[in-house]
Amino acid sequence: MQALREMLGVVTVLLLVRRVPPGRLDLTRATAQQWNDGLARDTTLQWWELVDPAADDEHPAAALAAVRGGDVVVRLAGLAAPPGRRDRAVQVLLALVDALRATSARTLEAAPSGDHPGAELLAILREAGFRPDADGREVVEL
């Protein structure tokens, strides 16, 4: 597939978000460890990955989002993306919001480690549609 893309000069790849299948959890944690070690160690998280659907199962995700599930409120625990690829972090969040709209969840709340997101994370959240609620938390209504 990569050779075909190079032959055709196609550089844009369609990336989709999906819940990480059980068989990819080890690869997901290894990938996250490279980008965000603390996030990778939390075994209670539900992982979502931004992937090329044509790639094989050994190909790492383009970006990762980790959440703590809930029936109505889902909490974003963190993001992992390659260094310098803020666009991928935004893309995985936008796709995650779309995917969660098909569930019973009504709100995605950013709950990164620490009380307040740093400036870079806040900029990513805002670009992905998060806004402060009445309590000052960053949320997206689904």
The model's pTM is 0.84
The full set of domains in the chain, from first to last, is 2-141 (3.40.630.30)
C-alpha dihedral, 36 to 41 to 46 to 48, nearest 10°: 30
Greater confidence (100 vs 40) lies with 100
Q: DSSP letter string over 46-76? A: EEEEEE-TTS-TTSPPSEEEEEE--SSEEEE
C-alpha closest to that of 46 among 20, 16, 71: 20
Greater confidence (56 vs 37) lies with 56
Per cent of the chain over pLDDT 90 is 63
- Tokens matching residue 29: 């944690």
How high is the pLDDT of residue 115?
A: 56
CA pseudo-torsion sign 54, 57, 62, 65: positive
The phi and psi torsions of 33 (rounded to 5 degrees) equal -60, -35
